[in-house]
Amino acid sequence: MPVSTSIRLRLCVALLAAVSTLSHARAQDPVVRLGHFSQTQIDHQLYLAAGHPNEQWRYQGLRQHLAGRDAQAVLHFERAAGYADKISQHYLSLLYWYGQGVPQDRVLAYIWSDLAAERGHRNLLRIREKMWLELTEAQRAQVIQRGEGMHRQYADAFTRIRTERALFRFATQMTGSKAGFDGHNLTVQFGPSALQGTSTEGGITGLAMYGDERTDRRVYWQAQDRMLEGPLRATVTIGPLEPHDRTL
């Protein structure tokens, strides 16, 4: 599989640890599994994410999550969220919803979900609405009180510009000719031994590393949005249901 294609597929898979149901699970159970990466794959993706802070912080968060350090993962996802990373905002909504690595806060979880669904993608909207139905009236009132400040900090109107500035810096520093760049003839190696020219970890064409999907802000956001449109992969483990007395 061409590396440029595999990047897109891996990111699609990593996108949504979707909620097939928001039933109650025991707090001690690690219920959320974000993405389907190995540590080696995450390390490779970090090389490919050069110049894209939203992706870099997201993969740092996934690295911590895979190692079982969800409290650290949350910090990295929050940094990515500050660069308009909808995937990380979605991850935060799940971690706060189930209280994994952080104290459970379903109001904050909903706010993160609302931010993740800001661009109107059906999958994220569906998860947001499921969460809303699970909130109490008091929690919904808190969403209104707490949500405005969060949106001013993390909504696209305030965060996309940060990523776009990083894209501009990355594009102006790319390897190769600035006039008539032809990435087909350039191979970018990655791995600790790449500086010695003996990297065995992998490499991609310059086009995949520096093409429009990685450097042109309009095309980049289109590519990012396509990752939000794929089918959801349910990787939330629901524990034994807790009985509730429904008698009044």
Radius of gyration of the chain (CA): 19
Structure tokens at 210: 């520096």
User: Is residue 246 situated within a structural domain?
Assistant: no
Beta bridge partners of 233: 17
Query: Higher model confidence: residue 33 or residue 96?
Result: 96
pLDDT band of 104, cuts 50, 70, 90: very high
Beta-strand pair 203-205/187-189: antiparallel
The contacts of residue 45 (CB under 8 Å, 6+ apart) are 7, 10, 11, 37, 55, 59
Check residue 187 and give its pLDDT: 52
State how far the Cα of 64 lies from the Cα of 27, in Å rounded to an integer: 20
39 located within any domain? yes
pTM: 0.74
Domain coverage including residue 145: 3-17+32-173+218-229
What CATH number does residue 80 fall under? 1.25.40.10
Quick: pLDDT tens for 129-145.
999 999 999 999 999 99
The rounded distance, in Å, linking the Cα atoms of 46 and 64 is 13
User: 85 in a domain, yes or no?
Assistant: yes
Within the chain, residue ranges assigned H as helices are 3-15, 39-48, 53-66, 70-81, 86-98, 106-116, 122-134, 137-154, 156-172, 206-210, 212-215, 217-227
Task: Assess if residue 137 is contained within a domain.
Answer: yes
Tell me what pLDDT residue 35 has.
82
Confidence of residue 121 (pLDDT cuts 50, 70, 90): very high
Whose tokens are 């031994």? That residue is 193
Give a yes or no: residue 81 inside a domain: yes
Task: Indicate whether 206 belongs to any domain.
Answer: no
Tell whether 91 is covered by a domain.
yes
Tokens read off for 20: 């097939």
Number of domains within the chain: 1
Do the domain assignments include residue 13?
A: yes
| Distance (Å, whole) CA 221 – CA 205 | 21
Could you tell me if 83 and 53 are in contact, meaning their C-beta atoms sit under 8 angstroms apart? Answer: yes
pLDDT digits (tens, 9 = 90+) for 206-243: 666 667 878 888 998 998 888 887 654 436 665 544 44
Cα angle value 186/187/193 (rounded, 5°): 140
